Amino acid sequence: MADKPAQTGADETTAAPLLEVRHITRRFGRTLANNDISLTLEAGEIHGLLGENGAGKSTLVKIIYGVLRPDDGEILLRGKPVRFSSPAEAREAGIGMVFQHFSLFEPLTVAENIALALSGAHDMEALKERIRAISEEYGLPLDPDALVADLSVGERQRVEIVRCLLANPDIIILDEPTSVLTPQEARNLFETLYKLVREGRGILYITHRLEEVRELCRRATILRHGEVVAEIAPAAHSARDIARLMVGTEVHHVSAPPPAETGVPALHVRDLTLPAPGPFGVALYEVSLDVRAGEVVAIAGVAGNGQRELFAALSGERPAQNPGAVFIMGHDVSLKGINERRALGAAFVPEERLGHACVGSMTLVENLLLTRHAVDSDFVRHHFIDYDVAQKVTSRVIAEYDVRNAEPGRRAAALSGGNLQKFIMGRELDRRPQVLVVNQPTWGVDAGAAALIRQELIDLAREGAGVLVISQDLDEIFEVADRIAVISRGELSEAKPADSVSREELGLLMAGAHERRNGSGAQKRQKG
């Protein structure tokens, strides 16, 4: 493991900061997203940019990257004022950015997506070799010929990071870079970041994982309601202290009282086997699981090991091949679709917010109707949608889940990633479903909102629902789960009580210790 760099920064008496933001202000109608924000980024520094969802982080970095223009203030690179009218101009000046939301074309390959972001013509075979070399060097393995449509969310994040690094930027803006990475992948990324700052680059690092900030960042600027409220040395503060600065109050402590004696299975899966949905997908093999009324069951695993395929099979996006594989509230739904499963009291939250959980170009009220109109009679009167009811419910979700800078008529894509996640979770939790299946419930959500969402999952279960959480965040899993299982290469381990499972045991299971097809047991059967 590489040594952590000192990050002493440039000598301020001899060199201007690599990046300087002075008095940036930006309004969106009546909303003041950035108000007189200033910060500096030195060469050789990883600088944290922190704040709860809607604090103004995304607006600020979009201004730095040329996506938005400020209403007031200026940006300096190495002491010289700059003004970008597009991201292309920012990239030419040496600024690279990895967005929280992916900007990839699913029908194209990894190499084709990367080529689109690079200026000039490229020899595709040479570009593929560069992709392989840089992805291996940074511990983010990619197949340049893989279709993006067949990649997991974690693999798509790798494409975004490698695409940025191929442009060789001096300044790198990373927006929630580890939110879909495993701990091992995140550790590899940290080693990469240390290498980059040793080369004199500067990194502006946005994350809600505060222990990462304490480890990586020499300084951090904290925003609240569009203003700078503090600049701190993160290592000198606890994660709880930093969270308090971000939200302005104490963060809710997640409480998970022991469940009462759990009831009959709300979700019952028995020997679910499905072929891979494509050449780069993962086949499911004899998956069996019970989620009983009153409990939270969590599924851990390394990205790309069948989580997406399992979610599709449970939600009805991809029905089973035979009856008798998936039951919801005692009903065989193996061959039924999503709305039929929702009508039985089930709700589903996929991992990818834009394009899967919601339609970015549609308003929040329209997105709420997408999952409610077919299963909730309150929304339809005499075969017509009752928009007054839909508006009231949307407003209720926005208020109860503290979705910032939102109103029912605002487009989903206009929200920050964390606020959109809060809305999507709130939309499904508002139904008080009897079965909830959620993939990555707090991806990109700030510490305060993550605690509230996790508490809602526990509370829903204690009300008598069966809750299944698929997550790559082990801290989250241990915080909410009554029982834990692990998925590896499409095989699911037995779910065990959370208090009886160690992180080391989970690590072995993530590596496939329970597998039958690919383990020694499968090999013996094949020989026999």
What is 449-489 written as a DSSP string? Answer: HHHHHHHHHHHHHHTT-EEEEE-S-HHHHHHH-SEEEEEET
> How far lies 271's CA from each of 14, 19, 300, 319, 493, in Å?
67, 56, 19, 14, 12
Phi and psi at residue 492, to the nearest 5°: -105, 135
Identify the CATH class of 265-527: alpha beta
How many beta carbons lie within 10 A of that of residue 7, not counting itself?
Answer: 18
Cα–Cα distance measured from residue 248 to residue 155, given in angstroms and rounded to the nearest whole number? 35
Three-state SS sequence of 398-446? HHHCCCCCCCCCCEHHHCCHHHHHHHHHHHHHCCCCCEEEEECCCCCCC
Cβ pair 61, 255 in contact under 8 A:
no
Q: What is the CA radius of gyration of the chain?
A: 23
Cα–Cα distance measured from residue 181 to residue 331, given in angstroms and rounded to the nearest whole number? 36
Cα–Cα distance measured from residue 381 to residue 118, given in angstroms and rounded to the nearest whole number? 52
Of 246, 315, 241, 298, nearest in space to 480 by CA: 298
Query: What does each of the 528 residues of the chain score in pLDDT, given as a tens digit?
Result: 456 666 655 444 457 999 999 999 999 988 899 999 999 999 999 999 999 888 899 899 999 999 999 999 999 999 999 999 999 999 999 999 988 767 888 889 999 999 988 877 789 999 999 999 988 877 778 999 999 887 866 788 889 989 998 888 999 999 888 776 666 667 878 988 998 899 899 999 999 889 899 999 999 999 999 999 999 999 999 988 998 999 888 777 788 888 877 778 999 999 999 999 987 689 999 999 999 999 999 999 877 789 999 999 999 999 999 999 999 999 999 999 999 999 999 999 999 888 899 999 999 999 999 998 878 778 888 788 888 999 999 999 999 998 988 999 999 999 888 889 999 999 999 999 999 999 999 887 878 888 889 999 999 999 999 999 999 888 899 999 999 999 999 999 999 999 999 888 888 888 788 888 765 433 333 333
Cβ pair 465, 295 in contact under 8 A:
no
Q: Helix (H, G, I), strand (E, B), or coil: what is residue 161? A: helix
Report the half-sphere exposure of 395 (CA within 13 A, side-chain side).
6
> How far lies 269's CA from each of 94, 266, 330, 361, in Å?
51, 10, 11, 35
Of 361, 422, 365, nearest in space to 388 by CA: 365
